[in-house]
Amino acid sequence: MGKLIAYRLVLALPQLALVSLLVFFLTYLVPGSPAAAILGAGATPESLAQVESDLGLDQPFAERLVEWFGAALTGDLGLSYSNSLPVSDLIAERLPATLSLVGGGLVFAGVFGILLGVLAALRPGPLDRAINGVTSLGLAIPEFWFGLILSLVFAVQLGWVPVVAYTPLAEDPAAWFTGMILPSIALGAPAAAMVARQTRGAMAKSLRAPYIDSLTAVGVPRTRVVVRYALKNAMIPVLASTGLTLRILIGASFVVETVFAVPGMGELLLHSVIGKDFPVVQGAVLVVAVLVIGVNLVLDVGYGLLDPKVRSQ
C-alpha cells in the first residue's frame, strides 16, 4: 500500500511540474508585454519600462523561472496586476465557494448516477430504455442553462429558495445547505448522466461475469450477489473515472456559479482573463491543477483499496 502511494506520488510530481512550467510560460505566449496590458493604450515608453522593472519582467528568463517556482512553492503566487493584492489571498477567498459547489455536484452526480445506472442494468427493457432516454437528455443539457431554468422555476417563480443564495458554510450551515441545493443539481445533472451510463455498462458487464453464476449456483441469494459482488466489481471502473468527472465539474462550476451568483473562482478567473491579469490566471490554473492532481492521487489510492490487483502490483 505504501509503495502504491509512493508510486502514484512520483507519477504526480512530473505532471505537476509540467503544469506549472506551462503556466509559467503563459506570460510569454501573450502578444505584447504585460506592462502594456496594465497601462493600456496611452502608456509612455518610460512608464512601460518602469512597470516592467517593478514586475521583474526585465530579468533574464531563467532567473524569473527559478524565482517564480521558489515563490510558488512557498504559496506566494505574486500580486495581481489589477489591484496589487496577493494572488493567493484572492484565490483563498474564493476557493470555499467553488469547493462547496463542486462537492455538491459530485455528491448529486454520484448518488443519482449510480442509482440510475444500477437500476438500468438490473431491469433491461422499458425501465432501461427510459433511463437511457433521461441520461441522453442529461448529457445534452448545458449545466448553466439548466441552472437558469431551475432558478427561474424554483427561485423566481415558486420562491422555494432564495434567488441569490450563497452563504458560507462557516456562517450558517443550514443556509449554506439550502443555498447549495439548486446549484448542485444544475452542476451535477449532466455528470450524473455520465456516471449513470458508466455504472450501467460496468454493472451489466459484472452481472454477466461467470462469478455471478458460481455464487448463484451455491445458493447465494440474488440480492446478495448483486449488492455484495456485482456492485463492488462494477464500482471499480466508475471510481476510476471519478477524476474525469471531477475535472468536468470544476470547469462547469465556473459557469454555474455566475448563474447563481456564488462567489467562486470562476468570476475571479473570468475577470483576470478579460483584464489580462496574468498572475491571477497563473495562480488559479496552478491551484486548480494541484487540486485535481491531489484528488486524483487520493482516488488512485482508493481505487487500489477496491481493486486488489492494483494494490499488489
Site for other proteins in 196-235 (CB under 8 A): 208-211, 213-222, 228-229, 232-233
Cβ closer to other proteins: 104 or 176?
104
Residue 236 touches other proteins, criterion: CB under 8 A: yes
Q: Looking at 14-22, 48-56, 60-68, 73-81, which segment touches other proteins (CB under 8 A)?
A: 14-22
Cα–Cα distance, 17 to 289 (Å, whole number): 10
Q: What character string, x for contact with other proteins (CB under 8 A) and - otherwise, covers 278-297?
A: x--x--xx--xx--xx--x-
What is the closest distance, in whole angstroms, from the C-beta atom of residue 190 to other proteins in the complex?
Answer: 9
Write the DSSP assignment of 225-261 as a string of letters.
Answer: IIIIIIHHHHHHHHHHTHHHHHHHHHHHHHHHHHHTT
CB of residue 216 vs other proteins: minimum separation in angstroms?
6
Looking at the Cβ atoms of 50 and 216, the one nearer to other proteins is 216
Nearest to 102 by CA among 255, 220, 227: 255
Separation CA 49–CA 66 (nearest Å): 22
For 80, the enclosing helix (H) or strand (E) is none
Residues 22-81 that bind other proteins (CB under 8 A): 22, 26, 29-31
Q: Contacts with other proteins in 179-198 (CB under 8 A)?
A: none
- Candidates 118, 254, 268, 304: give the one binding other proteins (CB under 8 A): 254
C-alpha–C-alpha distance, residues 145 and 201, integer Å: 28
Q: Could you tell me the smallest distance in angstroms from the CB atom of residue 145 to other proteins?
A: 4
Contacting other proteins within 130-169 (CB under 8 A): 136-137, 139-142, 144-145, 148-149, 151-152, 156-157
Q: Is the dihedral of CA 64, 67, 72, 73 positive or negative?
A: positive
Residue 203 exposed, middle or buried by CB count within 10 Å (0-12, 13-18, 19+): buried
d(CA 107, CA 96): 16
| Smallest separation, CB 173 to other proteins (Å) | 28
Residue nearer to other proteins on the CB measure, 66 or 273: 273
79 phi and psi angles, rounded to 5 deg = -110, 145
Looking at beta carbons only, is 142 or 173 nearer to other proteins?
142
